[in-house]
Structure formats: C-alpha cells, structure tokens
Amino acid sequence: MRIAMSNHPASGEPRDGDVIVNGIRLHYLDWGGAGTPIVLLHATGFLGPIYGPIAQALTAIGHVYSFDQRGHGDSERPRNDIYGWDITASDLEGFILAMGFTKVRGIGHSAGATAIGVVASGRPDLISRGMLIEPVIFDLKDPTVRRPSEMHARTLKRKRTFDNVAAMFSNFEHKPPYNTWRKEILRDYCERGTYVDAAGKRALKCHPEVEAEIYATSRDFDGLGYIERCNAPLLVLFGERTDAPGLALAPRVAAENRRVVIVPGTTHFIPMEEPELTARMAVEFLGGE
C-alpha cells in the first residue's frame, strides 16, 4: 500500500512518500525523471538523501526513486528489531512490487549493493540490470569468515548524539572513514541523518543497535553466491583502497555479464568520495541496453 506523497517543496528537490512493505512503513524519495524506474539503495547506517548528486544525475535516463531501509532514515523501526541481509533483500523486492514496478534498473552501495544483486539474481523480472558499488560479500567456505565481526562491537560504541549539526560535522570530518568524503556530502549526512531529540540535541536516525545487528549477521549471508548466479548485466565497483572483503573476491565476481571496475584512490565510500565519477558511470551503464 502506497501512502500519498507531498508535492515538490522546491525545484530540483525530491518528493517524499511512504509505502508499506512486509508490514513496515518505508520512506522513499521520488527524485523525478521520466522512463523506466531506477531504484537506489543506500549503505547500512545511511539514508537515501545523501546520494542526491547521483540520484539527480540519473534523472536524465529514468524516473529515480530511493528509499530508506527499515530502521534507517525516516523509515519505521520495527518494534521487534528484526533485521538481516535476507530481510533487506526482501524489503527491496517488496518495495518494487508495492510501487508497481517491473524491470527496474538498480543501483546500490555496500549492503544496498548486495541486496540489488540478490534481487537481480532471483527476480530478473523486477531488476533488469544493476550497478553494485562495493557490495559486501564473503566466501563462506573461508574459515576466517566465521570470526566475530569487529564492526558489531565498534558500532555499539558509536557516539549517537551531538550538540548540533556543526558539532557532529566537526567530530567526523577528520576521522576515518568520513575524512575522505566530500565535505558537502558529510554535511548533508550530519543534517539529514539526524533528528532533534527531546533534549534538543541531534541524534542519529539509525540507532547504533540497528546498524550493529546488520553487521552481526553479514557473515551468515551468501551474497557472493547470489551475485555469481546472477544472469542480469551488472557493473560492480570496488575501491582500490577499500578495507571491505569484496575486493579480494573481484576475480570471482567478474563474468561475461558482470563487469568489475576498481576505482583508483577510493575506499569503500566511492559515492561519497567521487560522486561525479560514480554518476557518470551509472548513467552510462544503466542507460545502456
């Protein structure tokens, strides 16, 4: 069920809307454009609006939508705290169905990229081609994968409230991984990724517990297997300086229908470091046949 959207608040700004998927209210943005839909899905801990430069560029080749994953951004946080990689993919599939789309073109970052690959693999009627930016994938036969995720414990310790947006920006701008981001994108994250809490401080919209739960289940999900079985055309980007495990698996990802590109000088956060390059590659690939 789709809930009525607001009008464009200003020229060039996306429209807000909500849709019920798997019993959860998901918030989405309609960026405009015309033609076959393009769906953009963000990384864990983030939200759709900070990918604005890419979404806006893609309106030249299609009607662009992004949505905030459950527990992220302005989407609902389930009371039972059910999260997982299979659920993320299920929500993506459900979003496409609820919006009445078929044969969409997908673009995702990190866990969002993995989800795009999963749905393109299992439901080519829903995603006809996809651009996967730093998909989070593991070789589940590698015994080292079974080690506990360091990201889980580290995320639970994250600072979650700040005096104001400026204080949050100042706290992040010189710290990894944010120190490599474009400053305007980091400011957008500090502004849009937080809300004013009861104490008047800026609090993270995605609670660290939600982010940590997703990291905790990442090594139990065979995203690599789904991507290897995918017959849809895929463009897969890895950062040359990434610390994510996908880069080492690039030779297994590459195939006749799956082109792998290693982006020089970038980390796991390619869209935040090189938004113009990312947008150009996305327009070229997703606009092709």
Of the pLDDT bands very low, low, confident and very high (cuts 50, 70, 90), residue 8 is very low
Question: What is the rounded distance in angstroms from the CA atom of residue 186 to the CA atom of residue 172?
Answer: 8
Q: 212 in a domain, yes or no?
A: no
Share of the chain above pLDDT 70, in %: 94
pLDDT digits (tens, 9 = 90+) for 23-33: 999 999 999 99
- 73 backbone φψ class: left, alpha, beta (φ>0; ψ -120 to 50): left
| In contact, 91 and 22? CB cutoff 8 Å | yes
Q: 277 in a domain, yes or no?
A: yes
Q: 194 in a domain, yes or no?
A: no
Mean pLDDT of 226-237: 98
- Which residue range forms the structural domain that includes residue 68? 2-146+220-286
pLDDT digits (tens, 9 = 90+) for 264-275: 999 999 999 999
**What 3-state DSSP class applies to 188?**
helix
Q: Which residues contact 100 (CB under 8 A, 6 or more apart)?
A: none
Q: 177 in a domain, yes or no?
A: no
Q: 155 in a domain, yes or no?
A: no
pLDDT value of position 2? 59
Question: Which token pair is 13?
Answer: 């700004």
Count of domains in the chain?
A: 1
What CATH number does residue 108 fall under? 3.40.50.1820
Of the pLDDT bands very low, low, confident and very high (cuts 50, 70, 90), residue 143 is confident
Q: 121 in a domain, yes or no?
A: yes
Worst-scoring range by mean pLDDT, 27-36, 49-58, 79-88? 79-88
